[in-house]
């Protein structure tokens, strides 16, 4: 796994955490939840390509 990908995921996590805390203090809980969900979706989209590569490598390893 590339170190750059880990740093990108950590950066998204920190930004989302700050935004969620800010929105919760402003008593906008619904928007805080949507922000956290959007952050999760962004990280999952970053990881999907790597998971596909992993499945391809496993498939070629076992000859399927």
Ranges of each domain in the chain: 3-62
- Would the pTM count as exceeding 0.85? no
With beta carbons less than 8 A apart as the criterion, state whether 56 and 18 touch: no
Q: What share of residues in the chain are helix, strand, coil (percent, to 5)?
A: 90, 0, 10
pLDDT at residue 2 in the model:
83
Q: Average pLDDT, stretch 41-55? A: 94
Q: Is 43 left (phi over 0), alpha (psi -120 to 50) or beta?
A: alpha
Q: Average pLDDT, stretch 32-60? A: 95
């Amino acid at each position: 796994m590339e170190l750059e990908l880990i740093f990108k995921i950590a950066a998204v996590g920190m930004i989302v955490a700050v935004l969620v805390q800010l929105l919760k203090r402003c008593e906008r809980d619904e928007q805080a939840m949507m922000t956290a969900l959007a952050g999760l979706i962004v990280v999952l989209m970053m990881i999907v390509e790597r998971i596909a590569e992993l499945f391809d490598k496993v498939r070629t390893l076992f000859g399927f």
